[in-house]
Amino acid sequence: MSELTSSTFCNYIGGRWLPSASGKTIENRNPAHTDDLIGRFPDSSADEAHQAIDAAARAFDAWRMTPAPKRAEILFRAAELLVARKEPFARDMTREMGKVLAETRGDVQEAIDMTYFLAAEGRRQYGQTVPSELRDKFAMSIRQPLGVCAIITPWNFPMAIPSWKMIPALVCGNSVVFKPSELTPLSAHNFVTVLEEAGVPAGVVNMVTGGPEIGERLTVDERVSVVSFTGSTAVGRLVNQNAAPHVKKVHLEMGGKNAIMVMDDAALDLALEGCLWGGFGTTGQRCTAASRVIVHERVHDRFVDAFVARAAALRVGDGLHPTTEMGPSIGQKQLEKVMSYVSIGQQEGATLACGGHRLTEGALAKGFFHEPTVFTDVKPEMRIAREEIFGPVVSIINVRSLDEAIRVTNDVAYGLSASIYTQDINRAFRAMRDVYTGIFYVNAPTIGAEVHLPFGGTKATGNGHREAGTAALDVFSDWKSVYVDFSGKLQRAQIDTV
Ligand code: NAD
């Protein structure tokens, strides 16, 4: 267990670390040991959110005018600092949100990869140069920054997700006000210290910690041009509504109900490993978690027996212990949600094949631990097969064919990630074409995206934008088409002459 020390942290506004103006703070506690108080973070007021927006608005112009390759050099330094601090940052993250150390190292690594990848866009951000329809006229398109970006993030990837948003925002020349999840402010603090030390000028990045009210303040303020939000679909809808009156650019990455399809010709051992990792990695608290496993009837029983045995044997505990395979839920509320869905599944008539209980023995008593849980005999219309649980609960659905598997996969409100296990290339390509999600895998689970391809989902998962890849630049810049007429006379475009 980590040391039982704690301290009081600050907001970062206009290049200064400022304590909570009201003195009110939020306690950050370890979900594996609730008596481990990690620190107290400002429970900020609307006024502090305003100050942060002021600072970002003031800093915008100088940052916009800093050549993009120079902005990139600062961000490359940030990536190097992240590399140097990967291990302590990962340990802080496991302590504050519970996922096992191998995964929190991966979270920091994702921030490193994203920072290197998108910082390099400082020397690209390619536009188009095209022939004009007129003589002596030049035509091109360039990207321009938008201004102040509000970055509102969840707790499950506390450094990776902020990096997915802040690095493209910064490389495009925007300034930022960052409101991290109130459950993971330490990783947010660590990320911002790195940006500060790398040389991001005062006011270009600001961080205000606090709850939903702070997110809402940022969303409604007319000086904010972009709101980039990752979180639940219910809150994303509110963000969209609140941002609408000022016609802001709103980027939403929301919930998921992802499925792995296991066909009768699948390499079953491989599928088994993939379903365990996809279903129980990060305690099922991933937007891309494989909370549904859709299995062909010919291999259903064989697969279920092996899957249930392996799930029940997963070692649950403190993520800092090297042998732990699955950590706790993030908090009491999330644990209660998991437990309530276990009851819902039973009431709906699904079979509880393993798990189903909170774990309270020995050292686990002080944390939010729950058994890895598998439901079988799940019907696609059941709530446990349709609603995001965000916990260690996997629903297994028995199907007769690939067509039925695709139908069931698509028949939910969300559209983030899906996958198929099959050895048949024709089936793989049909599924790849016909499943309507933003991400699709063949012979791999629903998790494991790489930073240089677009990330995001369809339907209730997203509103058409993508993060990661160069697609992220489209969220944080606007296109400007530029025409330069060097003929010395008025030339009317074709639209006005034919
Ligand atoms: P959440 O929606 O409760 O909170 C997300 C953030 O929004 C937090 O910082 C929160 O303080 C803030 N917030 C809350 N109310 C707000 C309001 N009215 N206005 C503005 N901001 C507000 O989500 P969470 O519990 O932190 O995260 C879990 C959810 O995030 C899951 O649904 C998961 O699927 C989703 N998620 C999606 C992706 C993706 O890329 N699609 C990635 C990770 C997590």
Residue type, 116: Y
392 lines ligand 1 (CB under 6 A): no
The arithmetic mean of pLDDT across residues 300-307, rounded, is 98
**495 in a structural domain:** no
Grade residue 498 by pLDDT with cuts at 50, 70 and 90: low
211 lines ligand 1 (CB under 6 A): yes
Per-residue confidence (pLDDT) for residue 1, from 0 to 100:
34
Per-residue confidence (pLDDT) for residue 495, from 0 to 100:
85
User: What are 351's strand-pairing partners?
Assistant: 376
Per-residue confidence (pLDDT) for residue 4, from 0 to 100:
40
pLDDT at 175 over 50: yes
Task: Specify burial of residue 477 (Cβ count, 10 A radius: 0-12, 13-18, 19+).
Answer: buried
Counting ligand 1 atoms within 8 A of each CB, the residue from 287, 333, 388, 389 with the most, and so the one to mutate, is 287
pLDDT at 477 over 50: yes
The active-site residue out of 253, 371, 388, 467 is 253
Task: Mark whether 296 and 243 lie in a shared domain.
Answer: no
Atom of ligand 1 nearest to the CA of 467: 40
**454 in a structural domain:** no
- In whole angstroms, give the CA distance from residue 356 to residue 239: 34
Helices (DSSP H) in 281-378: which residue ranges? 297-312, 332-348
Domain that holds residue 364: 259-442
Task: Mark whether 292 and 374 lie in a shared domain.
Answer: yes
| Mean model confidence pLDDT for the chain | 96
Atom of ligand 1 nearest to the CA of 461: 41
156 lines ligand 1 (CB under 6 A): yes
Q: Compute CA 469 distance to the chain's CA centroid, rounded to the nearest angstrom.
A: 14
414 lines ligand 1 (CB under 6 A): no
Structure tokens at 413: 């409100």
- In whole angstroms, give the CA distance from residue 93 to residue 101: 8
Structure tokens at 426: 């024709």
Task: Mark whether 68 and 12 lie in a shared domain.
Answer: yes
- The domain total for the chain is 2
- In whole angstroms, give the CA distance from residue 171 to residue 180: 20
- In whole angstroms, give the CA distance from residue 110 to residue 455: 13
Ligand 1 centroid, distance to 369 Cα (angstroms): 21
CATH of the domain at 398: 3.40.309.10
**368 in a structural domain:** yes
Task: Mark whether 343 and 469 lie in a shared domain.
Answer: no
| Residue with CA nearest ligand 1 atom 12 | 212
152 lines ligand 1 (CB under 6 A): yes
232 lines ligand 1 (CB under 6 A): yes
**448 in a structural domain:** no
Task: Mark whether 186 and 205 lie in a shared domain.
Answer: yes
Task: Mark whether 211 and 113 lie in a shared domain.
Answer: yes
Ligand 1 centroid, distance to 331 Cα (angstroms): 14
Q: Which of 210, 204, 180 shows the shortest CA–CA distance to 65?
A: 204
Per-residue confidence (pLDDT) for residue 494, from 0 to 100:
86
Atom of ligand 1 nearest to the CA of 236: 2
Counting ligand 1 atoms within 8 A of each CB, the residue from 152, 233, 250, 330 with the most, and so the one to mutate, is 152
The active-site residue out of 172, 275, 287, 354 is 287
Grade residue 106 by pLDDT with cuts at 50, 70 and 90: very high
Q: What pLDDT digit, counting tens, does each position of 229-287 carry?
A: 999 999 999 999 999 999 999 999 999 999 999 999 999 999 999 999 999 999 999 99
pLDDT at 226 over 70: yes
- How many alpha carbons fall within 13 Å on the CB side of residue 452? 6
**493 in a structural domain:** no
The arithmetic mean of pLDDT across residues 355-369, rounded, is 96
Task: Mark whether 365 and 434 lie in a shared domain.
Answer: yes
Task: Mark whether 156 and 271 lie in a shared domain.
Answer: no
287 lines ligand 1 (CB under 6 A): yes
Q: What pLDDT digit, counting tens, does each position of 138-159 carry?
A: 999 999 999 999 999 999 999 9
- In whole angstroms, give the CA distance from residue 354 to residue 310: 10
pTM greater than 0.75 (yes/no): yes
Q: Which of 267, 292, 288, 491 shows the shortest CA–CA distance to 406?
A: 292
CATH of the domain at 131: 3.40.605.10
Task: Mark whether 234 and 378 lie in a shared domain.
Answer: no
Q: What pLDDT digit, counting tens, does each position of 415-433 carry?
A: 999 999 999 999 999 999 9
The arithmetic mean of pLDDT across residues 451-464, rounded, is 97
Task: Mark whether 314 and 366 lie in a shared domain.
Answer: yes
Task: Mark whether 243 and 288 lie in a shared domain.
Answer: no
| Residue with CA nearest ligand 1 atom 35 | 231
Active site residue 3: no
Active site residue 253: yes
**399 in a structural domain:** yes
Phi, psi of 150 (to 5 degrees): -90, 125
- In whole angstroms, give the CA distance from residue 442 to residue 1: 39
pLDDT at 335 over 50: yes
Atom of ligand 1 nearest to the CA of 242: 19
Grade residue 496 by pLDDT with cuts at 50, 70 and 90: confident
Counting ligand 1 atoms within 8 A of each CB, the residue from 166, 220, 232, 437 with the most, and so the one to mutate, is 232
Ligand 1 centroid, distance to 483 Cα (angstroms): 42
Residue type, 390: F
pLDDT at 300 over 80: yes
Task: Mark whether 185 and 289 lie in a shared domain.
Answer: no
**497 in a structural domain:** no
**490 in a structural domain:** no
